[in-house]
Amino acid sequence: MTPANAKKLSTEDTARLTADEIFDAACQNGLDELKRSSSELGFSGFIAGLTIGLTPLAVSIVRSAIGNGAPQDLISKLLYPLGFVTVIIGRSQLFTENTLYPVVVVLRDRKQLWNTLRLWAVVLGTNLLGTLTFAFLFGHTSALKSDVVTVLVELGQQAANQTATHLFWSGIVGGWLMASVAWLVTASHWTTGQVAVVWVLALVLGLGSFTHCVVGSSEVLVAVVRGALGLGTYVHWLLMAVIGNVIGGVVLVTVLNYGQIRLARG
């Protein structure tokens, strides 16, 4: 390779993508996922639901070691992005990412609506099955020390014991942040950049205690398994979380970015 070609390749690799290019790449990601069978999506979704539990697990371990209080809460939340980084960089199926990828496909081709709904149902269902497995593993066995389990239960109670209005609007912000993660990860050339994007935005999600239907399920279901919350409380929490996340991701990220692309392309 000549120095001139090497310089050209380096420039192409590091140049910022345009909004058009990000949109097209997201659309291709969506098409790839929509081609996958339900069983493939299911296994990937289950892995994501189980692995996202690294977020409350890490927070609980740190908080049980350093105690409660505002500084301790801040320190423990520094590890909040761990589950998101593991899931997203590992390319497992997380429901909130799919408020972007398949939806941009639907905006181009309405015939993909039912296929997208299939993907949503499979991924959300298996995400929740994964979080339930996490809850039984760490809330119903002796895998964790009792003080860590106590913190996990407290996290679940804090998440669930909110008004429907708060959960809805908090869920919108959570969906907006996570769909923004998917958009920016698509725009990033390098894994290190993707990790940085995920870490920073997931940290905002954690510091703001914004509602996320999957990671929150890991926390709330531990409380349910331990008998600290009723199943009805979880179902109510989940309904508001999912609605908020979908609106936040679809409207505030996918539709708005689609709008700017349509205007630019005429």
In a domain, 89, yes or no: yes
| 10 pLDDT higher than 90 | no
In a domain, 7, yes or no: no
In a domain, 99, yes or no: yes
In a domain, 3, yes or no: no
Tokens 């408020």 locate to 99
In a domain, 9, yes or no: no
In a domain, 4, yes or no: no
**In angstroms, rounded to a whole number, what is the distance separating the alpha carbons of residues 158 and 141?**
22
Residue 266: predicted pLDDT: 65
Cβ(33)–Cβ(25) below 8 Å: no
Overall number of domains in the chain: 1
DSSP string for residues in 182-227: HHHHHH-SSHHHHHHHHHHHHHHHHHTT---TTHHHHHHHHHHHTT
Range of the domain at 239: 18-265
Task: Go through 99-130 and write b for each residue having 16 or more CB atoms within 10 A of its CB, e for each that does not.
Answer: bbbbbbbbbeeeebeebbeebbebbbbbbbbb
Q: Convert the pLDDT of each residue in 191-225 to its tens digit.
A: 999 999 999 999 999 999 999 999 999 999 999 99
Mean pLDDT of 158-187: 97
**In angstroms, rounded to a whole number, what is the distance separating the alpha carbons of residues 110 and 119?**
15
* The residue type at 259: G
| 255 pLDDT higher than 90 | yes
In a domain, 8, yes or no: no
Q: For the whole prediction, is pTM greater than 0.75?
A: yes
CATH number of residue 46's parent domain: 1.20.1080.10
In a domain, 54, yes or no: yes
Q: Convert the pLDDT of each residue in 118-168 to its tens digit.
A: 999 999 999 999 999 999 999 999 999 999 999 999 999 999 999 999 999
